[in-house]
Structures are given as structure tokens and as C-alpha cells.
Structure 1
Amino acid sequence: MALLLLRRCGCDEHVHARRTPLPNRLRAAGTLPVTTKCAIDSNNVHPAIARFVLPLGATINMDGSAIGFPCRVFFVALAQGTWTNPSPADLFTTALISTLMSIGAAPIPNAGLVLLTLILNTWIPDRLETITNVTGDSLACVIINHRYRKAVERSVRLSQHLAAEAQVSRAENTVAEASKRVDDVDGAD
């Protein structure tokens, strides 16, 4: 549904361009070079945006984990028969804790041993969560690129222009100092 709402920024083309690297998703941090290359080459994302958004998303944007944690909690509680009718407060607490745990989850396979024992993490759901996480990071990158590409390009051009001016200024100062030394040497003779 989000793709349909965001179609005008080319997100549907983004998903089709990412079909090849999706089976390679084992964990967000491990696929960061492939995701960055795909974003820059296949989706025409500005390199500065891709190199800022994707590592940030791989670290804190764990959508798949935020979805998977409460599903596992509800499954275990319902399977044991201890939670037949959860209250709104129970649901809110579970959602809040799951969100905090998903932000704190490291982007490497099975990083949280405590999370494994508490949430009963398994291999297949973890891979599905990773696909969700990486796809969400990439979509965020494409959307940010669509909105801010011109501003980033202006900023890059401005910084390059300022660096060139600073280099010219340093060269002029060096020439001025050298000519002053030559004048001092000529005046001493």
C-alpha cells in the first residue's frame, strides 16, 4: 500500500530493480555494500544520500524485527494458554517493548542472545525480517533521494567551489609570500 501511495517517486521501479540482490539478504549489515551499489547504480540514488541513509537504516530501522517480536510473543502466550484475552494495555506494552528491542537489535545475525531466548528467534523468520528491513531502508533512501537530491547536489557543488576557492587563496598567499621573500632578498643586496 505504501508503494502505491509513493508511486510518484518511482518506488515501484525501485522494487523491480532490487529483485536480483533480494535472495542474497542474510543480514542488513552484511548486505550493505550490495544494497548501496544497487541503490546508486540501479535506482539512480545520489551516492551521498545512499551512503548516509542506508547505514543508518541498517543500524536502527528494524521493521522486520518490530513485526516479528510481537508475533512470537503472541504465539508463545497463546500456545501456552496464558494470554487468552489481551487488554489494550498489554498490546501497547508489547508494541512499545518490541519497538525498543527492534531499535536496539544489532544488524548482524543472532546478535542478541537474550532476544533469542526471550523471543524464540528462528532462522527462517529472521531472514524474512532482514528482507523487510533492507527493503524498508532502500525505500527510505529512494524517497529521501527523490525529495532532497537537488539540495544535496547544490551542497556538493558549493563545497567543491569553496574548496577550490580555498585552494586558490592558499596558492595566492604562497605566491605573495614567495615574492615578498624575493623582494627582501633583493633589498638586502
Structure 2
Amino acid sequence: MQNEKKSGFWGGLPLWKKIFIGMGLGVLVGTILGPDAEYLKPIGTLFVNAIKMLIVPLIFCSLVVGVTSMEDSAKMGRIGIKSIVIYLGTTAVAITIGLTLGNIFAPGAGLNMAITDAAAAGKEAPSLVNTLLNLIPKNPVNALAAGNVLQIIVFALGLGIALSLCGEKAKPAIALFDSLAEAMYKLTELVMKLAPYGVFGLMAWVSGKYGIEILLPLFKVIGVVYLGCVLHVLVVYTGIINFVARLNPVRYLKALLNPAAVAFTTTSSSGTLPATIKASREEMGVSKGVASFVLPLGATINMDGTALYQGVCALFIAQAFGIDLSTSDYLLIILTSTLASIGTAGVPGAGLIMLSLVLTTVGLPIEGLAIVAGIDRILDMARTSVNVCGDLMVSAVIGKSEKELDEAVYNKETPAA
């Protein structure tokens, strides 16, 4: 009888509570075990690998289904433009918040680090032409196999549009992709049941490896980034939900709990996509077509949290090396981070790649990356959560503007179908 009660308690908890219990236990066990917590990392690695297994087929099938479900091509173009404008607009706002907080709190002031010749030599940033050319996959199969998300998105959009234009002859193929998408959603549901255990393993490893001691010297940077992330969600996102979409922001905040918890621990917005789609459709009442189109797009080009992190870290590195930035440097950081977000994959560690591009563009020492890399995992947790919260916000705004959001479901007046 006692075992049944325990089983009932655990089974009755919502996923986000299970995840946070796993997270808390992981931190406790990791702190106790220290470096020996490395032995628990495979538990988390298995979960992350299972999530990665879902990414390519889920994005591909979801986008094809999302495009083909919009029989009105003008509507699809309208939704695409709206999504990109909102995503890039909030990214610019996010990095502005990061730069502002970096100036206020000055996390790198007083470190007095010296610039070496090696540090000053940065890699040349890829040209805009090459970036645009690389959007088109020479071989779609290779793009799928390599997990090149941007190329997969371009091919999926093209295939979806072509199927929509084919009319009756394309119906069997559309039905196939629809079935595959449903199968991926079900597989996602099964994988997500492992989340609390995977999170336990990941957090035990992180806390055991880094510990409190290594976080103390950089605690100010972590605090500023986390403060900025919280402000961006509570002020910018809920403000858009409330004043633009005219929806209850509290319902939005409740709906993002599960995806944000998964994003916080897996540090992958693409990997969190299954949970994001589920929350958008079942918790917020967004239609299948809008959710399947907007969210995979957002998982790739919406990098608000990453942009905010870059604003803080770029200033931290400048302050640490005693470099004064001009107004044009600030504008260049905002522009570079906003545009670079389009080509940054939603996977763990992608923020460091993006940060190196920003540092190179502004002329800051690349050596600064080595300082930030030590706490990148901790920062990645917060910035990925913000990215996912932004995806959900945009899906709700687009759904409301296109009259494809069931407000009865959003307000919990009736369960999602």
C-alpha cells in the first residue's frame, strides 16, 4: 500500500515539478560527490541523445505539415513575415537590455587583464554572401544527416510549398508527413517521461564539476545575465502578450513552465521543441498549423537569451581588458548579434560560437572567450530558457492575430482536443 502511495505521488506530479525535483537532487548529489559525479553524466547524456534523435525528423515533419496545412499561400507568407519581424525585434531589445545591465553593474571592472598578441587575433567573420549561399542545401540528404537546421528548414519549406501547389496528387504525401509528425509527437511524449532522470544526471555532473568555488569569481556575470533574462520574460514577453495580443499574461507564464524547465536543463532550444509544441497546442490553444510552422522557425532564429548574454559578456570582456567601447561599437554589437541569431543553431554551446563572432566584429580580444567558457553551461541554461519562452510568446501572438488561437483552451475553460 505504501509503494502504491509513493507511485501515485510521483505519477501525479506534473512534468515540470518532476524535472525540478530531479534538478534539486542532482545539485545536492553533485555537491556531495564532487568530481566523482562525472559517473552520473551518462544518465543525462542518454536523455540528451534521445532528445537530439528527435530534432531533425521533428523539425522536418513539423514544418512540412505546418506549410501544407496552410492552403492559403498568402497566409503562410504573412505568418512567416510576422514571425521573423517579432523574433528579430525582440532579439534587438534583448541585447540592449544586456548592454544596459552590463553598464550598470560593470561585472568585469577591476579585473585588469592584459591583452596578448594571440588574444587580439580573432577569426575572420563569415561574409553575408556565404551565409546566404549556405542556406540552400546542395544535397538535402546530407543536410538531414548532418543536422544542418537552417538548410533543413529551407528544404522543408520548399517541399511544403511544392506539395501545397500540387493539389490532389500531393494528398497521399501530405497524409504520410502528417502521420510521421503525429508519430514524432508520440515518440516525444515517451522520451519526455525520462526528463527528470536525465536532468538529475546532468545537474549532478554540472554541480560536481564546477562547484561553488569556481562560480564565485564570476558570480556577478551570472547574476547580471539571470537578472536580464528574468526582466526580458516578465517585462518584454508578458508585455507583448498583454498589450499586443490582449491575452492573460499569467496563463502564458503557467504554460511556459514545462518547456522552460526542459530548456534550462538541456540547454537546447531545438531539443526543447517537442515540449514547446506540446505546451503551445495543449496549454495555449494555438492551432496545429501555426505551432508547427512558427515554433521550429523560432527554435532556429529566435536567440533572445543568447543575444542578451552576449551584451553582458561583451561588456564584461571589454571591462576586464580595460577597453572602452564607443557608441558605434554598441550599435555594431546590437546589429551583429541580431543578424547572427538567424544562423545560430539552437543547440548547447552555440552561444559561444555566436559570441566569438561578436567579439571579432567589435575588435575585442578572443581570449575573453576562455573566461566565459568556464561558466558557459550555467549561462546557457538561462539564455536557452528565454529563447523558448520567446518562441511560445510568438506562437500565441501569431495565433491570436490569425484567429487560430482557441481562447477557451488558453484560459482553461475547456481542455485542448
> Match for residue 298 of structure 2?
57
Shift in Å, 1:5? 5.0
Return the letter of the residue paired with 1:67: L
Mapping for residues 13-52 of structure 1, pairs under 5 Å: 13-25=251-263, 26-52=267-293
Query: SS of the counterpart of 1:130?
Result: helix
Answer yes or no: is 1:66 the counterpart of 2:307: yes
Corresponding residue to 2:385 among 122, 126, 131:
131
TM-score, length-scaled by structure 1: 0.71
Q: Is the contact made by 2:277 and 2:295 (CA closer than 8 Å) also made in structure 1?
A: yes
The alpha-carbon distance between structure 1 residues 65 and 113, as it changes in their structure 2 partners (threshold 3 A), is: closer
Structure 2 CA distance for aligned equivalents of residues 56 and 96 of structure 1: 20
Answer yes or no: is 1:12 the counterpart of 2:250: yes
Q: Is the contact made by 1:29 and 1:108 (CA closer than 8 Å) also made in structure 2?
A: yes
The alpha-carbon distance between structure 1 residues 62 and 150, as it changes in their structure 2 partners (threshold 3 A), is: closer
Return the letter of the residue paired with 1:148: E
> Match for residue 339 of structure 2?
100
Structure 1 CA distance for aligned equivalents of residues 394 and 354 of structure 2: 26
The alpha-carbon distance between structure 1 residues 77 and 34, as it changes in their structure 2 partners (threshold 3 A), is: same
TM-score, length-scaled by structure 2: 0.34
Return the letter of the residue paired with 2:259: P
Return the letter of the residue paired with 1:45: V
Shift in Å, 1:68? 1.1
Unmatched segments (≥5 aa) in structure 1: 152-189
Structure 2 CA distance for aligned equivalents of residues 70 and 91 of structure 1: 9
Q: Is the contact made by 1:53 and 1:141 (CA closer than 8 Å) also made in structure 2?
A: yes
1:91-146 CA-partner distances (Å, limit 9, x unpaired): 11121122222222111112476446645451111111101110001000011111
Unmatched segments (≥5 aa) in structure 2: 1-234, 357-365, 406-417
1:146-189 CA-partner distances (Å, limit 9, x unpaired): 110359xxxxxxxxxxxxxxxxxxxxxxxxxxxxxxxxxxxxxx
> Match for residue 144 of structure 1?
398
Q: Is the contact made by 2:305 and 2:383 (CA closer than 8 Å) also made in structure 1?
A: yes
Structure 1 CA distance for aligned equivalents of residues 352 and 314 of structure 2: 16
Q: Is the contact made by 1:110 and 1:116 (CA closer than 8 Å) also made in structure 2?
A: no
Structure 2 CA distance for aligned equivalents of residues 115 and 109 of structure 1: 12
The alpha-carbon distance between structure 1 residues 74 and 89, as it changes in their structure 2 partners (threshold 3 A), is: same
Q: Is the contact made by 1:46 and 1:149 (CA closer than 8 Å) also made in structure 2?
A: no
Structure 2 CA distance for aligned equivalents of residues 142 and 150 of structure 1: 9
> Match for residue 349 of structure 2?
110
Query: SS of the counterpart of 2:402?
Result: helix
The alpha-carbon distance between structure 1 residues 115 and 66, as it changes in their structure 2 partners (threshold 3 A), is: closer
Say how many residue pairs are matched.
Answer: 149
The alpha-carbon distance between structure 1 residues 148 and 111, as it changes in their structure 2 partners (threshold 3 A), is: same
Structure 2 CA distance for aligned equivalents of residues 146 and 82 of structure 1: 46
In percent, how many aligned pairs have the same letter? 35
Shift in Å, 1:4? 3.6
1:17-66 CA-partner distances (Å, limit 9, x unpaired): 22233211121100101110111011111111100000000111111111
Q: Is the contact made by 2:260 and 2:386 (CA closer than 8 Å) also made in structure 1?
A: no
Structure 1 CA distance for aligned equivalents of residues 319 and 286 of structure 2: 44
Residue range with higher mean Cα deviation, 16-25 or 68-77: 16-25
> Match for residue 88 of structure 1?
327
